[in-house]
Chain A
Amino acid sequence: MSPARAALSEGWPVLLTSVFIGATYGVLARQSGLSVLEASGSSLIVFAGAAQFATIGLLKAGATPLEIGASVLLINLRHLLMAASLRPYLERASLVRRLGLAYILTDEAFAMGIGWFRRGHRDLAYYATFGTTLWLCWNGSTIAGAVLGAGIGDPTRYGIDFAITACFAAIVALGARHRSDVAVALAAALVAGALKLAGASVVAVVIAGALAPVVALVMRAPQPAVEPTEAT
């Protein structure tokens, strides 16, 4: 099977999820007062689900553009780490191609792509195909959700507004490997929830997200200072 076909046959459950979440985003964006153009603009320009949902909440809370930009930056800092992990596989591409490969880097594309490369493959077609298809799914479903959104009625009746939260919880559950991951996740979720209940809508996620990794530092004490096997 060609890498491009493998990307689609292995990735379809994730792609389908993105359609579901993208449509949810479109509906909620529309119902919070954005136009179809504004809702789609976010999916086109930012193209990062977590940050886009957070942006809707921040707009409702009356945040300034600078506050929104800073929150989006913090939420998306994780891309730095993902891009750094993909770097050994993507750096052979020309600069122009890397500009495009960076644009389609999402949580999902990272997870699928790194899985492919770690199985020993070297081609870029798998990552590029999956990332581009995800982009199409996300932007297409945003438009569909935004167009239909005004006529759907109250989305909370169907629990649709909960889709993105369920998605975050599931991503954490799928990604947690060590005990310290679980501790960090619980700490972040509890602190963010408590701050949110206390009325700190704008900064809850930012503060909790920045503080919780400290738990990992405490739990996994520094290794004894042994350099990793250097020839002496």
Chain B
Amino acid sequence: MSYWLAIGLGGIATYLTRLMPLVFRPRGSAPDALRRYLDALPIAVIAALAGAGVAVPDAGPTHGAEIVGAIAAVALARWRKNLLVAVIGGVVVVAGLRALGL
């Protein structure tokens, strides 16, 4: 039951973030500092998710495989400009290193 409450709250919050700018027109313009803070927020949140996933991939701290895997994914993304290639490359690297015992 509390699961559906959590999903419901999360769903409403998410939908409002998507909808509000399409329905309401902001009055005036935000202060410059706030605008630059908000500009940087998406990349910060996604990078924080990546950092948390690398540091503690499952129950315990990383043994190093995930650090190398993340570096591989970043390098592949910059090099090939292709999300799928980067994701699969990262997964393969991590699977390989884990198989080696890292």
Residues of B within 8 A of A72 (CB): 9-10, 13-14
Partner of B49, one of A13, A158, A160, A205: A205
Cβ contacts B63-100/A at 8 Å (1 or 0 each)? 00010011001111110011111111111111110100
Residues of B within 8 A of A76 (CB): 13-14, 17-18
CB atoms of B90 and A166 under 8 A apart: yes
A8 located at the interface, meaning its Cβ lies under 8 Å from any Cβ of chain B in the complex: no
Residues of B within 8 A of A66 (CB): 9
CB atoms of A189 and B50 under 8 A apart: yes
CB atoms of B43 and A17 under 8 A apart: no
Residues of A within 8 A of B14 (CB): 46-48, 51, 72-73, 76, 79
Cβ contacts B1-26/A at 8 Å (1 or 0 each)? 01111111111111101111111001
Q: How many residue pairs bridge A and B at CB < 8 Å?
A: 313
Residues of B within 8 A of A168 (CB): 46-47, 49-50, 53
CB atoms of B21 and A83 under 8 A apart: yes
Residues of B within 8 A of A103 (CB): 15, 18-19
CB atoms of B13 and A167 under 8 A apart: no
Partner of A166, one of B41, B47, B56, B86: B86
CB atoms of B51 and A189 under 8 A apart: yes
CB atoms of A170 and B77 under 8 A apart: yes
Residues of B within 8 A of A41 (CB): 4, 7
Cβ contacts A179-205/B at 8 Å (1 or 0 each)? 011001111111111111100010011
How would you classify the secondary structure of chain B's contact residues: helix, strand, loop or mixed?
A: helix
Residues of B within 8 A of A175 (CB): 42-43, 46
Residues of B within 8 A of A222 (CB): 32-33
A156 located at the interface, meaning its Cβ lies under 8 Å from any Cβ of chain B in the complex: yes
A91-B22, A188-B43, A216-B37 are known; give 6 further A-B pairs, CB within 8 A: A34-B3, A51-B10, A69-B10, A84-B21, A173-B73, A205-B48
25 inter-chain pairs at a CB distance below 8 angstroms, sorted by A residue, are A16-B84, A17-B87, A64-B6, A68-B6, A72-B13, A72-B14, A83-B17, A86-B22, A99-B19, A103-B18, A157-B98, A159-B94, A165-B69, A165-B90, A170-B83, A171-B77, A173-B75, A174-B77, A174-B86, A180-B40, A193-B54, A196-B55, A211-B44, A212-B48, A216-B37
